Amino acid sequence: MLKVSDLHVSYGGINAVRGISLEVPDGKIVTLIGANGAGKSTLLRTISGLVKAKSGSITIDGEEIMNKNITSICEKGIALVPEGRKVFSNLTVEENLRIGAYLRNNKEEIQKDYDWVYKLFPRLKERSWQLAGTLSGGEQQMLAVGRALMSRPKVMMMDEPSLGLAPIIVQQIFSIIKEINNAGVTILLIEQNANMALNVADDAYVLETGEIVLHGPGKELMENEQVKEAYLGKKKS
């Protein structure tokens, strides 16, 4: 289980995260929704070691990882699919995937994961020797997800996977998220498309200005009037 307790993060004079506590149980999909600037991305970046926390605790399976270096956090089984994909444009699809497995040594197991990623994303297999920068936005998102999977993560954190993608590609990405979860990967998801996120999530948190204001099962929050009005585009009757 990934557990965040009373986390505070400040930078540039801004208190971006204010005492957040949440749990991501093994084998579940947990989503964070909230407006831009609510602190969602900062939270993921802090968990992954890209941003230093001011105080609090972040543990995985009871082991403290807050403010550890990025490599140590990856070794504990946490992978991030960043906002905007961030693929290596001048490397091929296969080279990008290989980078995802850079902490691993077992060639046989790595090959199994290549095969799994290519099964999940047949389009990537077709384009394995194509430069990542020449892929479409949807294909780059698939590659970013595949690259994270190559690290064999316990917890995969995803930051806005549907951003800028056509609706049909968004549907495909969310189907893959469910398939990855069914294969045993725990998922912590940030997503502007609150309807899709809540529909797929076992558990959900609503963030406003760095604080958690609501928490509950995804399906339950979909029926919450406050959530409907603020994030699902449904006005009170």
pLDDT confidence band for 236 (50 / 70 / 90)? low
pLDDT at 237 over 50: no
Compute the half-sphere exposure of residue 33: CA atoms within 13 Å on the CB side of its CA.
26
Average pLDDT over residues 118-137: 94
Q: What is the pLDDT of residues 192-214, one digit of tens each?
A: 889 999 999 999 999 999 999 99
Whose CA is closest to 206, among 7, 20, 6? 20
Distance of CA 107 to the CA centre of its chain: 26
Q: Average of pLDDT values for 47-68?
A: 95
pTM score, whole prediction: 0.92
Q: Is the pLDDT of residue 103 over 60?
A: yes
Closest Cα partner for 28 from 155, 206, 176?
155
Spatial separation of the C-alpha atoms in residues 36 and 182, rounded to whole Å = 30
pLDDT of residue 14: 85
Weakest-pLDDT range from 143-152, 182-191, 227-236: 227-236
Q: Spell out the domains of the chain, with CATH numbers in brackets.
A: 1-77+188-237 (3.40.50.300)
Q: At residue 104, does pLDDT exceed 70?
A: yes
Contact 218, 201 (CB under 8 A): yes
